[in-house]
Every structure is written in structure tokens, then in C-alpha cells.
Amino acid sequence: MAELVREGDTVVLRLTTAEKMEGVHGDIRVAASSVQSVMVVDDVIHAVHGLKMPGSRIPGVFAMGTFLSGGERVFAIVHHNMKRGVRVSLRNSDFDALIVGADDPEALVSALGLA
């Protein structure tokens, strides 16, 4: 399962080999200074919408990859068993946001230390 962590001044989204293949992307690294906000999302799968470019998705079930919606470029990793997650809003980055499913999103937000 994907892991969103803070490594000093960098936020890293580490993907498993399968997630890299399904999301058609490698691990993502962004400067912590690029983070505008981090918020808990209670219905994480429905927070992912728009045109999939590229990646894998079954709407309402799972989403892995890049999505274009409303002028935003979002990278999402949400597995079928994930009900909740986090949205990391970014600026000055390749993506406008990262959406990641998480078992305990509140603990993840706290661990990132960016809220």
C-alpha cells in the first residue's frame, strides 16, 4: 500500500511496484514548502473525479493515477478497501493535489506535521 511520509523538507508518496504500474507513475516527491493544506477526506474514493490521464480506475471502487478535473491535476492512490484518506493541496508543483487513501487519516495528517 502507498505510503505518504515526510522526509525533512520533502513530502514523499512511496508507491508499491503494483501501484506504480497501475498509476503509470513512480514515487512522488514534493517540497514541504509547496504544501498549502492537508485535510482529512471522509469519502476518499468520491473525492477523485475527472479525466484519467494516465492510470487505472473503476469509478466508486478504486483510483490510481493522474486525473484532470476543473483545471486541477491530481494524483490519486485510493484502493477499493479505503473509505477515508487525505488530500494534500499543493502549489508550485507538478500536481495541484495528492489524494491518498489511509486507514487512519488523522494520524497521517499529524505525522506529516504540515496542517
Q: Does residue 115 register a pLDDT over 80?
A: no
Average pLDDT, rounded, for the chain: 95
C-alpha to C-alpha distance for 67 and 74, rounded to whole angstroms: 5
| pTM confidence score | 0.95
pLDDT in tens, 8-22: 999 999 999 999 999
Nearest to 28 by CA among 70, 71, 62, 77: 77
pLDDT of residue 114: 82
Nearest to 50 by CA among 69, 35, 37: 69
